[in-house]
Amino acid sequence: MRADLRFMLAAPAHLIALGLGSGLAPRAPGTAGTLWAWLVYLLLAHALPAGALAALLLAAWPLGWWACTRTAQHLGVADPGAIVWDEVAAFWLLLWLLPPAWWVQALAFVLFRLFDALKPGPVGWADRRFKLRPGQAIGWAQGAGILLDDLVAALCCLPLAWGVVWLLQRGGAV
């Protein structure tokens, strides 16, 4: 099975996990998914009251766990590159926890993509935590694993981004 438009439209889980098509990008689907997440977050943050936005961000995690697990099972790959809901949910959380200034969001984007791609320290640990063992079927643990490393990447970016904001504010640059 291959992730394409037909596959994406075959089930709601696929549509969600593939970030409404952003995961079908021929190159760097994780980056495409993160850019899509940024755009959608800006629209949601503008359109929704704070409580509704928080509820949506909270719901993104169990919904993503279900969608990523089912999509990985249907593709027969434990962590397919086309699944980008992990980037979406993690980047939404990161944006929600940071000041809404455009330059802070751009910094968060760069940091998040670096941590997600390079997987240093705790991000690498989280990425390896739920890998398939020989003879094991793709299950809910692998779905959780798809989401976990991106959550850890976002949480690793958070203090760095806040540190830059603090340093710039302290120096009077912001």
CB-based contact 105:98 (threshold 8 Å): yes
pLDDT per residue rounded down to tens, the chain (174 residues): 799 999 999 999 999 999 999 999 999 999 999 999 999 999 999 999 999 999 999 999 999 999 999 999 999 999 999 999 999 999 999 999 999 999 999 999 999 999 999 999 999 999 999 988 888 999 999 999 999 999 999 999 999 999 999 998 887 766
pLDDT in the model for residue 173: 64
Cα three-residue angle 38-98-157, rounded to 5 degrees: 85
- CA gap 18, 10 in Å, rounded: 12
CA 18 to CA 11: how far, in whole Å?
11
Q: Say how far apart CA 106 and CA 157 lie, in whole Å.
A: 12
Domain residue extents for the chain: 5-170
Whether the predicted model's global pTM rises above the 0.75 cut: yes
